[in-house]
Amino acid sequence: MSAGTNKIAVTVTDIIEVNQLVKRFKFERTGGGDLPVFSGGAHTVVEMLDKEITRLNPYSIMSDPMDQNAYTISVRRDDKGRGGSLFMHHQVRVGDEMVISYPVNLFALDLRAKKHLMIAGGIGITPFLAQIKQLTTLQYHFELHYSVRNNTVGSYVDELTSFYPKNTHIYYSDDGQSIDLEQLLDGQPLGTHVYICGPKDMITWVYETAESMGWPREVIHYEEFLAPQSGKPFEVLLEQSNKTIQVGEHQSLLEAMEAADVDAPYLCRGGACGQCETNVISSEGQFIHRDHWLDDEQRKSGKKIMPCVSRFEGKSLVLDR
């Protein structure tokens, strides 16, 4: 399936400054009409027309999955990023028309769980906001442990503690507070599933701790979207399309293919889903693999690359695309 998913034309109907780092954007269908319902944990890919560059960034939908009037997303400004979040913060205005993808869920709830234990770090709170609304509607049991730097930059801390005072636990790292993870995991009833969304270190910490305590792999769920990183420019020959393309310093390989009108599949654009996996026909140089998809053996083979986040340095690279 190429080019991800079906698209929806939307209008930005509200922009709220949540705090100094985060802005919330509200999208409604352009011309009116319902948006599709979705499942908590889903993201949408937002298309940004930033001068000559088309940026496609995934954001978790944080609004109530049953609310078909509008979707909301929260964007954390990344001053050192490649520019997507800066575009959203500085260029997008109420009334602008944009294009977003249909919702895609790569971080779904496992509805077999007797209890949903959520561990969030920073802006990783957003998929949980939609999941909590869905679980509340379904009357399922959940518990949230949310770690932020302090109250000033803790997005939605006040809403969560006032709506779900019994389920919500906040940790301010500036005050030296942290999750007592072993204690927390040790006390969970059988049938609990744990969900993690936050920085890479947090995911690794929770995953490894839970695994070492005997939690089955099937009950540990996490979502980490990597943002593509900048790197040295490189040249690629796309054999099927018979095109030679240049990947710029601040561009991903996937974006460079799209800019050359090469139809390349994708879903998450963050190295997690496997959809953009591409065969390498030949290479002379060094791969910089940054995805979570390929295993060590596949990386060593030099036969695969995930163009959404990974790069290449060297003499020549020929891809089957």
Partner 1 sequence: MSIQFKKETFRNDYTFKNSQWAIDRFPFPFHEDSYMYSVNMEQHQGGPAGSVFEKRFDVDEHYLAEMEDRALVLAEDPLRCQSLPHMTLAGWDLLELIMVSKSEDYPDLFQLHREGNNWRWINKPMKIDDQFVFMDETTLPYGPMEYITRQTQGDFAVLDQRDDNLWMDAGMVTTQADWSLDFDIGMNFFEWHAPVPKAHEMGIFVRALKFLLNIQQGSPARRLNWTMTVNPLLDTSPENYHKWGVEKSTLTVENVGEKQHLRVELQTFFRLPRSNALVFPIRCYLIRLEELVTVPKWGRRLHRIIRDLPEELATYKGFISNRPMIQEYLSGFDDGQPTSDGIWPD
Cβ–Cβ < 8 Å for 165, 189: no
Q: Does 303 bind partner 1 (CB under 8 A)?
A: no
Cβ–Cβ < 8 Å for 90, 78: no
d(CA 282, CA 320) in angstroms, rounded, equals 9
Neighbours of 172 (CB within 10 A): 16
Q: Does 37 bind partner 1 (CB under 8 A)?
A: yes
Pattern 157-196, binding to partner 1, x per CB under 8 A?
----------------------------------------
What is the closest distance, in whole angstroms, from the C-beta atom of residue 21 to partner 1 in the complex?
30
What is the closest distance, in whole angstroms, from the C-beta atom of residue 249 to partner 1 in the complex?
31
Q: Does 148 bind partner 1 (CB under 8 A)?
A: no
| Token representation of residue 26 | 């509200």
Q: Does 49 bind partner 1 (CB under 8 A)?
A: no
Residues 243-302 that bind partner 1 (CB under 8 A): 267, 273-275
Cβ–Cβ < 8 Å for 168, 144: yes
Q: Does 2 bind partner 1 (CB under 8 A)?
A: no
Among 70, 86, 92, 108, binds partner 1 (CB under 8 A): 108
Q: Does 3 bind partner 1 (CB under 8 A)?
A: no
How far CA 256 is from CA of 63, 109, 155, 196, 308, in Å, comes to 32, 34, 34, 32, 10
The type of residue at 70 is A
What strands lie across the sheet with 278-288, from one edge to the other? 243-247, 234-238, 311-319, 278-288, 304-305
Among 63, 74, 85, 134, binds partner 1 (CB under 8 A): 134
Q: Does 66 bind partner 1 (CB under 8 A)?
A: yes
Contact positions vs partner 1 (CB under 8 A) = 1, 4-6, 36-39, 41-42, 65-66, 102-105, 108-112, 134, 138, 217-218, 267, 273-275
